A and B are shown apart, each in its own frame.
Chain A
Amino acid sequence: MLEIENLHANVGGKEILKGLTLNVGAGEVHAIMGPNGSGKSTLSYVLAGRAGYEVTQGTIRYKGEDLTALAPEARAAKGIFLAMQYPVEIPGVTTLTFLKTALNAQRRARGEKEVDALTVLKRVREKAAALNIPEEMLKRALNVGFSGGEKKRLEILQMALFEPSLAILDETDSGLDIDALKLVAEGVNALRAPGRAMLVITHYQRLLDHIVPDRVHVLSAGRIVKEGGKELAHELEARGYEQIVRAPA
């Protein structure tokens, strides 16, 4: 589903990704683990198409199609979703309005019929209830005044609503207490599906106790330096990045 080959990317003229290769199949959940500064967030932004994250070499193929020239909105319409580490606060745009606008923009781009406000509301309510998001929050400005946990839950709600075929979760565990973490993990697990791939980017193994990955990749200095099954996450936690990164893959 996602094939990344020898990816090099610059941010502000500095090379951050230095030949990253990664394959994620449909229905699989892969974890990317790595120390701070290894390029985890850069990878997520490059996949989502953020301006300023410049691919200098290599390819990103998604369902066989090269993504690198596509605008972020075009990628979203193709089913790519990035749950961000720091969801942005947008005063003046209510959460519900935003959800409806985004959902219909994606549908329009795919040539599908737009969904009316009532149907959107019904779907959002359903998914919000499962994530313990109070309805009052949906009427507030997007992410404004939300706690860290609330912001992350709203990211998962979007994922549930948009039903992407590739979900990238960037440090979704950061800033969450254990209860919030469990709630978010349950939300993510509920979305595991044969047609949907997930890339879970995290610094710590604890999220992976709740979202159990099929494969674990270790990112260091812009490259995947080690791969393994879910047990690799525990090994990393026990021995630290230093040792694993230095050991031959």
Chain B
Amino acid sequence: MNAVTSTLDARRAKAAENFRASGVPHRRVEAWKYSDLRAVVGANDVEQAGPAKWSVDAPAGVELFDLASGNAPDWVQQRLGSIGAGAMQSASFGFARSGFALRVPRDATGTVRANWLSDGQARVLIVLEDNASLTLVESADAFAGFRNIGMEVFLANGAQLAQIALSPESSDAVAVTEIAARLSRSAVYRAHFANFGAKLSRTELAVALDGEGAEAHLSGVSVLGAGHADVTTHVDHATGNTRSTQLFKNIAGGHSRAVYQGKVTVRPGANGADSRQTAKGLLLGNRAEIDLKPELEILADDVKCAHGAAVGDLDMESLFYLRSRGIPEAEARALLMRAFLGDAIDEIENEEIRATVWLAVEDALSRAADGAP
């Protein structure tokens, strides 16, 4: 027992070292060029951030372990801190003893609701055994200060995870979430991120499609009237016959900035990989900014990869059409904005969760429109 615990300690020490070696990411680090974290958070803030408070509602049949308690079970000891080596993810493991681990046993199904209650740092471990399935709905209370969450996801053969993360507007918050996911054969990972703006928010997602037939479907909406929201993804087709789709829609009004960076790598020999990536932006007014950067790195021969990105204004012809039918301008604009976001939100399969996201989007849309020119 001691030997294994000290393995975790050793990993923790290594993670802390990792963070200290690279420091807080800044805009001269390519992956952070649109989001200068160092400008808003110092290394001391990161090392001394307390534990982030959370609440988790897990049904019977889904194992929940509080990472602050001792005697971690084997399934935690084996995996915790084993993937995700980015600076911030390292910090979330190296300095925080907060967070939770979830395990869904083979063939079991469950829905878990998690809520972040405060600033601080935390680690999350999610383990789905063969053919297990989990819907994870993450929400957060608005907060001020710095929060850093590092998440590790392990999906065994045929496992299915649907993750929906809602981040409310928190104008005085710096919120970083870094997720690393490993998918075995025929595992499916669906993730949707709804961001409504913070002083700086960064969601980073690295998905490794390690087994044949594995699929990742990533989507999200950022609707900003103020603040900054960055979604950065990296999908690694490590094996052949893997699929990934990405659909991200951004609306930026007022003095806000939305960022999407998405990299797709297809490894040598990963033939039959199929990847689609779409990112779109809608700018309301000239003080807002949207940066979209899709990127493809293809090292195999027989693959299907497509990507597209476009930023525009509301279509004036559509707006006139709706108004000429009697729909007042503000209502017509809102209708077009909802239509713009629609297909990304439709990626959420659960109807009830989709409705929750729509409600949050409605609020955010009026703020984004108010914040325009």
Chain A residues with CB under 8 Å of chain B are 48-51, 71-73, 75-77, 82, 84, 87-88, 90-93, 98, 101-103, 105-106, 109, 141, 158, 162
Contacts and interface: CB of A to CB of B under 8 A. Distances in A.
B329 A73 contact: yes
Contact of A90 (B316, B318, B323, B328): B318
Contacts of A109: 326, 328
Contacts of A51: 316, 320
A155 to B, nearest CB: 10
B335 interface: yes
User: Binding site of B, secondary structure by majority: helix, strand, loop or mixed?
Assistant: helix
Given A76-B326, A92-B338, A109-B326, A101 B331 contact: yes
A87 B321 contact: yes
A105 B332 CA distance: 10
A101 to B, nearest CB: 6
Interface residues of B, number: 24
Contact of A72 (B324, B336, B341): B324
Contacts of A101: 327, 331, 335
A82 B325 CA distance: 8
B268 interface: no
Nearest to A79: B326
B65 interface: no
Q: Lowest 9 CB-CB distances: which A-B pairs, in order?
A: A92-B339, A76-B326, A106-B326, A92-B342, A102-B325, A72-B323, A88-B321, A105-B326, A72-B324
Contacts of A141: 339
B326 A71 contact: no
Interface string B327-352: 11101100110111111000000000
B316 to A, nearest CB: 7
A87 B342 CA distance: 21
Contacts of A75: 324
Nearest to B320: A50
Nearest to A49: B324
Interface of B: 315-318, 320-329, 331-332, 335-336, 338-343
Given A71-B329, A92-B342, A102 B322 contact: yes
Given A51-B316, A88-B317, A93 B335 contact: yes
B339 A93 contact: yes
A102 B320 CA distance: 13
A153 B22 CA distance: 64
A82 B324 contact: yes
Contact of A84 (B321, B329, B338): B321
Contacts of B336: 90, 93
A92 B280 CA distance: 14
Contacts of A103: 326
B326 A102 contact: yes
A158 B324 CA distance: 11
Nearest to B346: A92
B327 A105 contact: yes
Given A48-B320, A93-B338, A102-B325, 11 more contacts: A51-B320, A71-B328, A73-B323, A73-B327, A75-B324, A76-B323, A92-B341, A93-B336, A102-B326, A105-B328, A162-B325
Contacts of A73: 323-329, 332
Contacts of A91: 339, 342-343
A195 B137 CA distance: 57
Contacts of A105: 325-328, 331
Nearest to A48: B324
A92 B340 contact: yes
Given A51-B316, A92-B339, A71 B323 contact: yes
A99 to B, nearest CB: 9
Given A51-B316, A101-B335, A90 B327 contact: no
A77 B318 contact: no
Contacts of B321: 84, 87-88, 90
Nearest to A161: B325
